[in-house]
Structure 1
Amino acid sequence: MTLDQYFQHNRDRHLAELTEWLSIPSVSSLSEHKQDTLKGGEWIAENLRKIGMENVQMIQTAGHPVVYGDWLHAEGAPTVLVYGHYDVQPVDPLHLWETEPFKPAIRDNKIFARGATDDKGQSFMHVKAVEALLKEKGSLPVNLKFLIEGEEEIGSVNLPKFVEENQDLLASDVIVISDTGMQEKGQPAICYGLRGLAGVQIDVKGAKGDLHSGLYGGAVQNALHALVRLLDSFRDENGVIQVDRFYDKVEPLTDEEKTAYEALNFSDEALKKELEIDALFGEKGYTSLERMWTRPTLEINGMWGGFEGEGIKTVLPNEAHAKITCRLVPHQDPDEIVELLTKHVNAHTPPGVTVEVTPFDKGAPYVTPYDHPAIQAAGASYERVYGVPTQFIRGGGSIPIVATFDQILQKPIVLMGFGLPGENFHAPNEHFHLENFDQGLRVIADYYSTLPEVLKK
């Protein structure tokens, strides 16, 4: 059979296998799913063995293990390191799911389940593309290594140490990751830049306990009011971040990038319609694409404190809390941003309370020249399968390990995404369009097949 015939003939089996993997609730952030997460890693390790990968092993870290496997018999050919993750996000709020998140359902040529697009579905395509090449050709055109981790959704906390200590094991000529998205339906895109991440939790403490608002109101600081004042100090009415030196290392877009973004014909009206809002908001003086891809942000992700039950309880809360994350752009350092945020909080703490700032998620931004032959070859593979030119874009999200790969392994990173913007990753009713599953298999197989000749040039 040709590869195309192989994919057609085995489609039902492939989807049945993907359904089995998606049924495992490998939620890395919840301790009650620790064994499920391990099971998710074991499942993909066994699947790698079945397709003919060698040296497959679960390698323990301080947290969830990483899955490794390789096939290294293409003498003189480049080596590709394929990265993915087998862990998934929590499913809350559960009542908003139309079908159960870990009982995959196919409808309208989409597969619905947690992890369908982020990232089990996309990682699985690489495994099945390799399977097809080995079955139909008897060998691979490239040497190939898989690294599939179980902690991406909690910031890949243990992977940087693993990468640092296992550079020989992970040695390669190019790194391929499918954990990003396409620009729109039928329009392939390669992401050449990602924003970084810096997160903190702010804990405000007032009196020794909650106070009666009648006895003490007007004389004692309310922790919630103090938190609101503090949070309001972070941005002005135009969305400009007010933290001293926050923008110091932010570089303006090049004219070439601006021209490229204008050519994408991005529609603010379409975005408003998709999100069901009547207006967009962001840093003054920039387009929506620039705000989402190339400008840093500071967002309140959650806040809590005081009485939240039914009815009313007339107290002055003595505690209030908030979580904040900043998306960072090239040259911004997460540790430095956390330090600047902490200084800002200390300088703007209202009287009558104390405030503690605790860092959590961190990840460096990443950007690479998109004219590298390995990246251009991926664009050509998309174009041969989809029949339209590939767009080169930046992504607003973060994949913390990308910057780690860049800093430690120092090899080109190709972000070959197949998700679509509306597929609800991290949200209820996450799904993956199966037309991109089908096309993606062919793109990946084509890319592996053409890469040796491209890298020779």
Structure 2
Amino acid sequence: MASSVIERLRQDRAAHLEELSAFLKIPSISSISEHKEDIRAAAEWLKQAFLQAKMEKVEIIETKKHPIVYAEWLDAGPEAKTILIYGHYDVQPVDPLHLWETEPFEPTVRDGKLYARGASDDKGQVFMHLKAVQTMLEVEGTLPFNVKFLIEGEEEIGSPNLDEFVANEKERLAADVLLISDTTMLEAGKPAICSGLRGIAALEIRVKGAKGDLHSGLYGGAVQNALHALVQLLASMRDENGKITIDGFYEGIEIPSAEEMESIKALGSGEEALKEELGVNELFGEKGYTARERTWIRPTLELNGVYGGFQGEGVKTVIPAEATAKITCRLVPGQDPIDILEKIEAHIQAHTPPGVTVTTERHDTGKPFVAPVTDPVFAACARAYEEVYQTEVAYTRMGGSIPVVETFDSQLHIPIVLMGFGLPSENFHAPNEHFHLENFDKGMETIVAFWNQYANR
């Protein structure tokens, strides 16, 4: 019975945290080539963990870059519900390292939180599903549903090889529902079911001036400075009120329904709490929208890195010959990432300052996703959350991106439940990423409750 499973989960908590820590110690950074073997090690770790969990079939599936880990248990039979669980084992880079209070790949528990890169995004949440399944099988000897796991190693670089895999493996991935835990709750103690994700379009801009760095006294005032040119170019992309000035950037955006807008407003702005959490005296963004609306239903253009010239201690009087910027746009329904990249490139061509040449390199792309939450599976998910957290669940969108979700939607045609247990304040993608252990504990109990409710309805 479910109560016996919950009791076992509580008994095994220390062992589970020790196992999760071993997983988190693997620096599986997908974007940096020197970590290729670490990615492989993380995939092998997962394979062994799934075998330990008594999955019937476990495979490491090669792609053009990093492998996929697939596992399944189908003994419930063809009449039972089948749940497909997606997640990722790759993580973001850790820079800037000096801002971490403890080593990013040496998991540390303090103040009820587990600190490590990947603790919340997404190794910790993947691990919860794995251990929930394993515990149910150990305690009950069986499951009331079939389960499939698809865990990839490229999510943090835009899942470049997963679209093709999903399109080619629709029979293997056939299921009644897709469950993803890679989103956040609304706030501490307030669970949320996410109905939408923003898409992403990433671009790197390189500005080239003179053939090399120049003495700023000998040449200053006679030649273009690559950093000045880059700053001028970047400033042309957004006005002082946060509106993006790329021609056609907002064309075709789908406006949420009046009902959804009212539900967002009913959650309150949360802006005072957000300012306190972030340590800022004022929020900033597109005029006419609240902070929640800006992060859930409006697109963005953000600078993720700008660099060039002398970076060391003190002063070096040079005119930099090169400068670089990295940009990501978060996109909403009605926007296409390739179209947006083309528009940014056209803007760059039209606004390049004299005396420099500009080249671009495209990176991650992913389409936005939004879905209705009318299928009965969402009601089962809400009941499970409310049973464990003892509070009403919120229905939200999330400002982040999971690029392959739109692909799952278009290829598999099944309900997609975004059932996250992270908190927005947990520093994923930033120094000192962590996972609140309260949600690690309650999350596994919620997962078990949801699976039982869904399988037996």
AA at the equivalent of 1:144: V
Mark the CA change 1:314 to 1:12 in structure 2 (over 3 Å): closer, same or farther: closer
Pick closer, same or farther for the CA change 1:2–1:281 going to 2, 3 Å.
same
1:252 pairs with 233, 252, 255, which one?
A: 255
Query: Which residue is 1:238 aligned to?
Result: 241
Is residue 42 of structure 2 the alignment partner of residue 37 of structure 1? no
Match of 1:7 in 2: 9
Distance 2:138 2:362 in 1: 48
1:16-27 counterparts in 2 under 5 A?
A: 16-27=18-29
CA distance in 2, matches of 1:138, 1:178: 25
CA distance in 2, matches of 1:309, 1:13: 45
Q: 2:455 aligns with which of 446, 452, 457?
A: 452
* Change in CA separation of 1:312 and 1:4 when aligned onto 2, cut-off 3 Å: closer
Q: Which amino acid aligns with 1:120?
A: K
Partner Cα separation in structure 1 for residue 123 and residue 316 of structure 2: 46
Q: Which amino acid in 2 is paired with 1:267?
A: G
Superposed displacement of residue 289, structure 1: 0.6
In structure 2, the partner of 1:82 is 85
Paired with 2:312 and 2:129, the residues of 1 have a C-alpha distance of 48
Distance in 2 of aligned mates of 1:72 and 1:398? 30
Contact 2:227 2:320 survives alignment (8 Å): yes
Aligned-partner Cα distance in 2 for 1:253–1:98: 41
Matching residue within 56, 59, 71 for 1:57: 59
Tell me whether 254-263 or 320-329 shows the greater mean CA deviation: 254-263
Letter matched to residue 73 of structure 2: W
Q: How far, CA to CA, are the matches of 1:342 and 1:91 in structure 2?
A: 29
CA displacement at 1:211 relative to structure 2: 2.9
Aligned to 2:201, which of 198, 201, 213? 198
Q: Does the 8 Å CA contact 2:269/2:290 hold for their aligned counterparts?
A: no
Quote the residue 2:172 is aligned against: 169
CA separation in 1, counterparts of 2:389 and 2:440? 12
Identity over aligned pairs, percent:
59
Is 1:373 aligned with 2:376? yes
What CA distance in whole angstroms lies between the structure 1 residues aligned with 2:166 and 2:347? Answer: 34
1:341-352 counterparts in 2 under 5 A?
A: 341-352=344-355
Amino acid at match of 1:126: H
Letter in 2 for 1:44: L
Which residue number corresponds to residue 307 of structure 2? Answer: 304
Query: Structure 2 vs 1, CA of residues 160 and 210 (structure 1 numbering), >3 Å: closer, same or farther?
Result: same
Q: What CA distance in whole angstroms lies between the structure 2 residues aligned with 1:53 and 1:430?
A: 30
CA shift, 1:147, in A, is 0.7
User: 174-183 or 368-377, which moves further after superposition?
Assistant: 368-377
Which of 180, 186, 211 lines up with 1:208 in the alignment?
211
Aligned amino acid, residue 68 of structure 1: Y
Over residues 326-360 of structure 1, what are the superposed CA-to-partner deviations in whole Å (9 max), with x where a residue is unaligned? 10001200000000001111111112221112211
* Equivalent-residue separation in structure 1 for 2:353 and 2:66 (angstroms): 41
2:428–2:434: 8 Å Cα contact kept in structure 1? yes
Query: How far apart in 2 are the matches of 1:57 and 1:130?
Result: 17
The corresponding residue for 2:442 is 439
Matched letter for residue 72 of structure 2: D
CA distance change for structure 1 residues 308 and 16 in 2, over 3 Å: closer, same or farther? closer
* Partner SS for 1:338: helix
Paired residue for 1:107, among 91, 94, 110? 110
The answer as to 2:272 corresponding to 1:269 is: yes
What secondary structure, in the 3-state scheme, does the structure 2 residue paired with 1:2 have? Answer: helix
Distance in structure 2 (CA, Å) of the matches to 1:230 and 1:284: 23
In structure 1, give the amino acid aligned to 2:261. Answer: K
- Which stretch shifts more, 229-238 or 401-410? 401-410
Cα deviation, residue 83, structure 1: 0.6
Q: Distance between the aligned counterparts of 2:277 and 2:62, measured in 1?
A: 42
Distance in 2 (alpha carbons) for counterparts of 1:211 and 1:8: 64
* Structure 2 contact 227–308 (Cα < 8 Å) conserved: yes
Map 1:213-228 to 2 at 5 A.
Answer: 213-228=216-231
Equivalent position amino acid for 1:290 in 2: E
State the secondary structure of the residue aligned to 1:342: helix
* Deviation, structure 1 residue 443: 0.9
Q: For residue 393 of structure 2, what is the aligned residue in structure 1? A: 390
The one of 128, 132, 146 aligned to 1:129: 132
Deviates more, 1:62-71 or 1:8-17: 8-17
8 Å contact kept, 2:180–2:418: yes
1:71, 1:39 → 2: CA distance? 23
Cα distance in 2 for residues equivalent to 1:73 and 1:210: 66
Deviation at 1:216, TM superposition (A): 3.0
Q: Where does structure 2 lack aligned partners over 5 or more consecutive residues?
A: none
**1:379-416 deviation line (CA, Å, top 9, x unaligned):** 11101111111100000011111112112222211111
Look up the match of 1:333: 336
1:288 aligns with 2:297: no
- Report the AA paired with residue 229 of structure 2: A
Aligned partners of 2:192, 2:216: CA distance in 1, in Å?
Answer: 56
Q: Secondary structure at the match of 1:245?
A: coil
Q: 1:99 Cα shift?
A: 2.0
Helix, strand or coil for the counterpart of 2:404?
helix
Q: In structure 1, the residue corresponding to 2:93 is in which secondary structure?
A: coil
- 1:453 deviates by 4.1
Give the CA deviation at 1:316. 2.5
2:188 corresponds to which residue? 185
Q: Residues of 1 paired with 2:369 and 2:265: CA distance?
A: 22
* Structure 2: distance between partners of 1:208 and 1:95: 34
Of 424, 427, 436, the match for 2:427: 424
3-state SS of paired residue (2:186): coil
Partner of 1:28: 30
Q: Deviations over 1:130-165 (max 9, x none)?
A: 112212222111111001111111221221122122
TM superposition shift of 1:90: 1.8
Report how many aligned residue pairs link the two structures.
454
Deviates more, 1:72-81 or 1:241-250: 72-81
State how far apart, in whole Å, the 2-side matches of 1:311 and 1:129 are. Answer: 54
Residue by residue over 1:94-120, the C-alpha shift from the partner in whole angstroms, topping out at 9 and shown as x without a partner, is: 222222222212222221111111111
TM-score when scaled to structure 1?
0.96
